[in-house]
Structure 1
Amino acid sequence: MQSNKLRMAIRATAAVAVFGMAGQAGAVSFDAGGWDTSVYGYARLNASYDIDENVSTSTRSMDYSAINVGSAEDNEPTGYFGADAVQSRIGIKTTSPEGVVFNVEGDFRGGNLRLRHAYGSYNGVLAGQTWSNYTSFVGSTSTLDFDSLPGLAGYQSRVAQLRYTTGPLSIAAEQPQNSLAGGTAKDSMPALTARLEDKAGGLSYSAAVLAQQVGYDTGTADDSAFGYAAFVAGKIALSDMITLQGTLSYTDGASNYLYRSGAESAYVDGNGDVKTISGYGGSIGAGFNLGSGRSINIGYGMVEVDLDDAVADSVGAITGADTESVSAVMANYQWTPVKNVMMGVEYKYGMREVQNGDDGDASSLAFAAQYNF
């Protein structure tokens, strides 16, 4: 019985962790000619009050690159309010009588309809755009901030890909996410990913690896290097009320997959050679189910990249003013007064440090109200 309770608790917490991302809990389902179809989505208000700096962007997520550092934060005006509903989304998912799944989903981030998912899948083969295979939500702590904490597992976004899944193992060839300081990145091959995700009793876990090529070609000069990345993530239910979760990541030549680092994957040095940038990150958090649709979540996340060699070698493409580390702590209270309605408040404190040692911090309050259908 206790084992069943633990499994139910971890499933419930995982569902809460992606509450703001999945949005299918209240889907409107119907059958049309043997096609099992659901229309789903939500309307959501996000509001923020930035206490000491203007650091919130669309969906009122914290923008770490906007945190002033050094003397720049000394005379920063205080108190900024903002609100929007662009996180709202709509999607349709249908399964044919033969078992072929189709899914198309969009939201309004950026002010216009934005494609999030567009894929088909059959017998374990998926083709189209959806969450990168180099992503996991197993170790994520539930946040109201749409972009969540730094250091989560993998890319945490959607890419075009061809994927095959068998049991807990998924492998994929994906559109690479390259960036190159001092040159224009050239994609010469897909990013190759493999992920293992499973559960055992009260423990859910995930691990993944990624390999990609980053380089440039001007017609008269060219060079490239291989980058790689890896993460592990886990969640454990300590009781029916409490879960702990966390992630660890390492990248070298794949900083775009180091979540919320904002760093380049590589740079071109003074000799025209491509040199990779390494980094690491992680997150840890806890969820407390208070019953009656109420929960408290606390979390910490961070990422750091090594820019010392890049500043010395990149001929000014990367400087001492570039971000070397970001981190954040947060706490929120979420309440589901009735089915398909969630409201919550959240406090977040973010920090940024640049390569020359200057640092700064900012704090923000957020409110969210979400209505699923």
Structure 2
Amino acid sequence: MRKTPLILMAAALPMAVNAANTEFSFGGFIKMDAMLSSYSDGNVNDGLGREFYVPSTIQPGVEPDTTELDMTARTSRFNFKTVTDVGNDKSVTTFIELDFEGAGGNEVVSNSYGPRLRHAFIKYDGLLVGQTWSNFMNVGALPESADFIGPSESTVFIRQSQVRYTMGDLAIALENPQTTGAGDSGDNGMIPDVTASYKIKSDGIELTAAALLRQLTYDGVAADGNDDGVIDAAEIAAADGDDATTMGYGVNLSGKVMIGKDDLKFSATMGKGVGRYVGLGAVADASLVGDDLETSETTAAFIAYRHHWNSEWRSSVVYGMLSADYDDDATFASAPVTDASSVRVNVMRSPVKKLTYGAEFSTATVEREGGDEASMNRLYFTTKYAF
């Protein structure tokens, strides 16, 4: 009977020694969502598109109008953080976070889904190495929404591996390069995406200006040997292996303005070849025109106003838009998104700290090259408790 306490003390000793100069913390939230969605041209088959607003999944001319009810808790997440004092008033921070938006699961029996890596990084003396939000993104400007992201067509929203150095309000990062469009989305050049951001704070105002410079690459340029206007799989396979490259760039201005207890949040993004960073990849970075790689132009913006009715109740009204322009001679396997917009209004209640009940109505319209449109209306209910 006396062995058990001794065994436990022996097992705990390494942790106790390590904890002498390391702080451990565990956090996350449990979130349950129910979405009643009406689609103008058939249901969205993509799993993520059924859970939150993903513009590229709203397709015109698929099926007759449908209405679907989805319920899930897979956006729940947990994280683990350590902060270790290494002397000289410096520390090493590690952070890892997972949710359950990974593959697997079904709605027949188990509704089980695989864990998915969100963040994993190390910070020391201004240097961050690992995976986290892009330096081109301002998390503080995201509006409160029952939807997982909110106005996703107009939001810079991306996590990826990077090396970032922060000096006061200025941060510069080298981030994972990935080119979407031009026949596939698996081409990485030799040059990382370069991002820079600068924060400006004043009384009741928080602004972030960000810039992006990137090289877009397509490996193995294929010619349209049939002159049919489409570069098919056989022509891609017969490509001579030459690379096509071009440069992309973008700027973003985002922030929050306090109006008494209320707040106004906004974001505006413009650029060429920034499709992977804005709108959850609704716009391809570039397309092949002959042997050349031509960037797409993207303009996106949202504005959100949140009003606090009292200490428990609050509401937000959000509008977002995206507009994309492609080269006149570009060809695509399927019509790409040219315009998207959404409006949402919600009401949230937090009867106790960190517990939130919410209801939200949103409507979105997506237009593709050629003028075809599709729309979605969604009634969203959510319950969330953060710990």
Tell me the SS of whatever aligns to 1:180: coil
Question: How big is the shift at 1:285?
Answer: 1.1
Q: Which residue of 1 aligns with 2:30?
A: 43
Q: How has the CA–CA distance of structure 1 residues 167 and 290 changed in structure 2, closer, same or farther, with 3 Å as cutoff?
A: same
Structure 1 runs of 4+ with >4 Å offset? none
**331, 341, 358: which one pairs with 1:344?**
358
Pick from 97, 115, 138: which aligns with 1:105? 97
Query: 1:259–1:63: structure 2 CA closer, same or farther, 3 Å change rule?
Result: closer
Distance (Å, rounded) in 2 between the aligned partners of 1:48 and 1:246: 25
Query: What SS is found at the alignment partner of 1:275?
Result: strand
Separation in 2 of the partners of 1:100 and 1:289?
38
Cα shift at 1:52: 4.1
Match of 2:342 in 1: 328
How many aligned residue pairs are there?
Answer: 332
1:34 equivalent among 12, 18, 21:
21
Is the contact made by 1:261 and 1:303 (CA closer than 8 Å) also made in structure 2? no
- Do the aligned partners of 2:99 and 2:115 also contact (CA within 8 Å) in 1? yes
Aligned to 2:53: 62
The partner residue of 2:131 within 120, 129, 132 is 129
* 1:134-283 aligned within 5 A: 134-154=136-156, 156-182=157-183, 185-218=187-220, 220-240=241-261, 242-260=262-280, 262-270=282-290, 272-283=291-302
Q: Indicate yes or no: 2:309 matched with 1:290.
A: yes
**5+ long unaligned stretches in structure 2:** 1-17, 103-112, 221-239
CA offsets per residue over residues 71-90 of structure 1, 9 Å max, x none?
x27x6243210011110111
Residue in 1 aligned with 2:325?
A: 306
| Structure 1 residues 138 and 90: alpha-carbon distance in aligned structure 2, compared to 1, 3 A threshold | closer
Tell me if structure 1 keeps the 8 A contact 2:54–2:152.
Answer: no
Say whether the 8 Å CA contact 2:54–2:280 is kept in structure 1.
no
Given the superposition, is the C-alpha separation of residues 364 and 157 from structure 1 closer, same or farther in structure 2, using an over 3 Å criterion? Answer: same
Shift of 1:131: 0.8
Give 1:88's aligned amino acid: S
Give the secondary structure class of the aligned counterpart of 2:148: coil
Letter in 2 for 1:182: G
Structure 1 length-normalised TM: 0.84
Report the CA distance between 1:339 and its aligned residue: 2.0
Q: Take 1:350 and 1:255, find their aligned partners in 2: how far apart are those partners?
A: 19
Percent of residue pairs identical: 29
| Displacement after TM superposition at 1:68 (Å) | 4.0
Give TM-score scaled by structure 2 length: 0.81
Partner secondary structure for residue 101 of structure 2: coil
Distance verdict in 2 for CA 1:79–1:166, change over 3 Å = same
RMSD: 2.0
- Counterpart AA for 1:208: A
Shift in alpha-carbon separation, 1:254–1:63, aligned structure 2, 3 A: closer
Matches of 1:328 and 1:303 in 2, distance apart?
9
- Highest relative contact order (Cα 8 Å, sep 6+), 1 or 2? 1
Given that 2:244 and 2:292 are in contact with CA atoms closer than 8 Å, whether structure 1 keeps it comes out as: yes
Q: Whole-Å Cα distance in 2 between the matches of residues 159 and 190 of structure 1?
A: 12
The C-alpha deviation readout for 1:19-64, integer Å capped at 9, x for no partner, is xxxxxxxxxxxx9222111100111111100134534843720232
Per-residue CA deviations over 1:164-223 (Å, capped at 9, x if unaligned) read 001111000010232132366342210000001231001110110011111223354222
Task: Give the whole-Å Cα distance in 2 for the aligned partners of 1:66 and 1:100.
Answer: 41
